[in-house]
Structure 1
């Protein structure tokens, strides 16, 4: 009887120890997001002293509006990176989907709703191709998405003949310029997307499967998770969000050009990683991604407000990417200590 009681006590201690470990891990993850928020606030305070324009309503709204495109793309890329993948094609998918969809509306008289559906469908198809090549043919995500990036860019250049497509429909203009209770439609729309993405990741079987596939794909597969399907679907989601980002960009610029989204993929990946999503997979959240985008947008905003030469923009972005990689390594070591 005493031996059985001892075994029960040991099991209780093991469960309690495991719960405490998980609790500490979650606490450190929340502290990581809080730390990023503190950095953003501190940077904002410093910038407000350096430029009196920073805290004006016009500049803050403009900052959020600039962040909407990045956030939209980053939502999909977050899913991909949590599985341990990478997607370098989002900028090109954004360009090709918006160019083909808007071209059908402007040149062929296709109804706006049909053109928008085609945009999203093109993004989904490119994402599906990425996912199938990676999961079925076991090719490197870096190589596959680099290849589809080139293909998408080529299609855009051929279709547009290196010229802009305009004018956009009035509904696009309304989307970009309209507001509800003084809050622009674009910001409200992207906020809804972010809430949906958060709910999917945190409160659905699919979301838990995404984390499991990135944390340990073999263990997840042995546990009954269809990891290949899950990974493929994350690339489809990334393609869809890229297409939506193209729609929002064309609405803001009231046109779409062949160079739309060029180089944006690296900025998006940097924002996602800075926000706490590990390049090695298994970790990440939507709130952190949004904070990462805001931080990068703040840096770009500071460059504009302080009249820093445009040539420094690339230097700053490259530095931010390196810092993101260093933060990812540090974060993994920090979490392991839990």
Structure 2
């Protein structure tokens, strides 16, 4: 009788614990989406102000151009979101984008391999670089900052050697169609990126892998003791980041109709800033795809404003650096005043 009562008490305790955990998880999700709503309000307000400053802003051509410019950044940011949620960082995405697109397109143009083979090679190169990052970080216990900084230099060196510092082209017609084609008046690039974002959202929010990503970033030791293979999970996030970087290279190649050795230079910092502004914590365990997309749109709006208002190009770096600093301050603010409350 006493054993039965003990078992009942344990079940009640487990149920209470699960209820508390569900409430905490629900509260965190609510705060994240409230943060995204706040960011959306900022974007709308900035757009209204910009529309008064220049009548060109609300034209269809400019808005489509704004979305098209955002597609590459969003694609890279999707993978980096996974990495940063685990508490990592990836500085190599810009270089991975360049080396994968240049070598893949080179095979298509110079070796005349089928387009699909060249595209698969691009994705494979991105995955391999991501795997290298993950293995060095998880197996050898090296800093993600140092590892991805190293692979950033290696990838950039490879593409400079392979291309002899010259652009690779011309691209096949299928690439041109990807960049210029439309479905129901919506550009193909926007549709492709929207599908990728939806897939990333589903993986993060509705799969065991996604929950393991959050657990690994929130408390790696606790996640490992709970049975989560944290090293495998973290490695896979870098593989995902490498793949999305390669896909970004494919989309950029389609837009520019060539693959250049300098593609993506400096883009990694902009990507990280967009992800953090979107609500993903640099300390890990927090973040969502919707916030990342909004972060990218805000940064794209800033760049668009610089162009429309004829701000001297020299100011662009100043603005981008300021945005990155604001992103870091926002992350600290969220952790101190929103998440901990």
Q: TM-score range with shorter-chain normalisation? A: over 0.9
1:100–1:9 distance in 2 versus 1, CA, 3 Å? closer
How far apart in 2 are the matches of 1:67 and 1:318? Answer: 18
SS of match in other structure, 1:283: coil
Q: 8 Å contact 1:123–1:242 — kept in the other structure?
A: yes
Matched, 1:220 2:223: yes
CA distance in 2, matches of 1:63, 1:251: 17
| Alignment partners' CA distance in 1, 2:208 and 2:305 | 41
Partner of 1:104: helix, strand, or coil?
helix
Change (3 A) 1:192 1:7: closer
Kindly provide the CA deviation profile for residues 201-227 of structure 1, in whole angstroms up to 9, marking residues without a partner as x. Answer: 000000000000000000000000000
Taking the aligned partners of 1:268 and 1:149, their CA distance within structure 2 comes to 14
Q: Relative to structure 1, is the Cα distance of residues 7 and 45 closer, same or farther in structure 2, using a 3 angstrom cutoff?
A: same
* Conserved? CA contact 2:303–2:316, under 8 Å: yes
Separation (CA, whole Å) in 2 of partners of 1:204 and 1:63: 32
Match for residue 204 of structure 2 among 201, 205, 211: 201
Report how far residue 30 of structure 1 moved: 1.5
Partners of 2:250 and 2:220 lie apart in 1 by 34
Using the alignment, how far apart are the partners of 1:260 and 1:36 within structure 2?
29
Structure 1: gaps (5+ residues):
1-5
Q: Deviations over 1:95-121 (max 9, x none)?
A: 000000000101110110000000000
Would the aligned equivalents of 2:98 and 2:264 in 1 still touch at CA under 8 Å?
Answer: yes
Superposed counterparts of 1:233-244, under 5 Å = 233-244=236-247
Residue 158 of structure 2 aligns with which residue? 155
Deviation at 1:49, TM superposition (A): 0.4
**Is 1:113 matched up with 2:130?**
no
Partner of 2:190: 187
Distance (whole Å) between structure 2 residues aligned to residue 167 and residue 123 of structure 1 = 22
Give the drift of 1:29. 1.7
Match of 2:138 among 135, 140, 143: 135
> Cα distance, 1:24 vs. partner?
3.6
1:123 lines up with 2:142 in the alignment:
no
**Counterpart Cα distance in 2 of 1:191 and 1:316:** 27
SS class of match (2:287)? coil
1:146 matched residue in structure 2: 149
Q: CA RMSD in A?
A: 1.9
Distance 1:120 1:8, change over 3 A: closer
Structure 1 equivalent of residue 72 of structure 2: 69
SS in 1 for 2:320: helix
Gaps of 5+ in 2: 1-8
Other-structure match for 1:165: 168
Cα distance in structure 1, aligned partners of 2:20 and 2:251: 48
Distance of 1:215 and 1:42 partners within structure 2:
33
Shift of 1:25: 3.1
Once residues 113 and 244 of structure 2 are traced to their aligned partners in structure 1, the CA distance between those partners, rounded to angstroms, is 22
1:336, distance to aligned residue in structure 2 (A): 3.8
Residue 333 of structure 1 pairs with residue 336 of structure 2: yes
TM (normalized to structure 1)?
A: 0.95
Secondary structure of 1:162 counterpart: coil
Q: In the alignment, what sits opposite 1:3?
A: none
